[in-house]
Amino acid sequence: MKLENGIQQPGFLLALRFLALVLWSFPGARALDNGLAMTPTMGWLHWERFMCNVDCQEEPDSCISEKLFMQMAELMDSDGWKDVGYEYLCIDDCWMAPKRDSKGRLQADPKRFPGGIQGLANYVHSKGLKLGIYADVGNKTCAGFPGSFGYYDIDAQTFADWGVDLLKFDGCHCDSMEHLENGYKHMSLALNRTGRSIVYSCEWPLYMWPFRKPNYTEIRQYCNHWRNFDDVYDSWQSIKNILDWTSSNQKRIIDVAGPGGWNDPDMLVIGNFGLSWDQQVTQMALWAIMAAPLLMSNDLRHISPQAKALLQDKDVIAINQDPLGKQGYRLRKEDNIEVWERPLSDLAWAVAMVNLQEIGGPRFYTISIASLGQGMACIPDCIITQLLPVKRKLGFYQWTSDLKIQINPTGTVLLRLAAN
């Protein structure tokens, strides 16, 4: 509807924006009914940085031990991590003793965890944090420690008795797809029966993809988040592979994500060794767009102020944690530039522009405002704020405007578009 001078009527345009909000607010698939992970889980997970180092004699500061987790808990409390939302301190594989105890219960390695998991949980809770732990649906964990097959109920109760708040449940050493699926379901129900609030992090679809396409509607009914693709490495190639897989499969996975259940592209490796500064910006920006769990895997005792500031950026975290809970998606790819966008609450949008060209210098990219947010991000106008790589107000834009952005090689510019 246009007036004679060609200017669209504001009332009509605002009605379109309201319609967009209504459409985006429809709930997705039914979520696991435990009331948890209503926004993506945030915290720290040991695997990518510390892996399965059990040699505390030679490497006491980097082996998987209660000392490591207590030091991380102390820093999460004192260095501002908890204050911006990083709440879960998560143990991955290699915490266990080689065998169960006489009653069939899992037990921590007594030398590396002399206080036991319950003692560590008490310490973590005293810092205002929550403790995550690791187990496996199969006969053994990926590193060869005791698996939970045949012990789902006793393991769930053991974790609850210890005061655990999150379970990462891996899928190694499972002898059939039937056992894998039934095991993930069984453990979900067993955790709920304990009466303790325990976030349930699954790798169910990751292990199903080689054999058949996962039923994400079903997975969401049992899991709070789920891994789909390979483990992240401390490399740009790894980050690119994860983004490529996600965008290639976005029609299948995006609509199922939302409050209570999230796609998990794996850990943040910001603050380590393999990514340039621009590549770290790209990971932070795209994990926010993807509504991904923000589980850092780094050494908080030795992290640069720049990496710390990026990981603690409240504006970017606010996009990740946006209560509308809609996962973003890749809008377009042309000439090694990708544009991703995500709808936010209050009719706002987040937009990320990624420069995948690995030769030359910064590139300019121009995009029409009308093409963003399914045509509704800036009706009839909006304020655009750049959040990354540095925060600055870009100003007032109309629906008919073009936006010109400069992006570093392998870097990303993250924007927030909000009503004027």
Which residues are tagged catalytic?
A: 170, 231
Continuous H helices in 79-174: 116-126, 152-162
Token pair recorded at residue 261: 């259940």
- Cβ contact 208:246 at 8 Å: no
Q: Per-residue DSSP letters for 231-270?
A: PP-SSHHHHHHHHHHHHHTHHHHTTT-BTTBEEE---B-T
Measured CA to CA in angstroms, residue 345 lies from 59, 200, 342 at distances of: 47, 26, 10
Integer Cα distance of 155 and 148 in angstroms: 7
Q: Which residues contact 149 (CB under 8 A, 6 or more apart)?
A: 137, 138, 139, 174, 179, 183
Question: Residue 82 is which amino acid?
Answer: K
* Count of Cβ atoms closer than 10 Å to residue 221 Cβ: 17
Integer Cα distance of 290 and 327 in angstroms: 5
3 state SS of 412: strand
Element (H, E) at 381: strand 381-388
Token pair recorded at residue 328: 């973003």
- Cβ contact 46:52 at 8 Å: no
Integer Cα distance of 204 and 218 in angstroms: 11
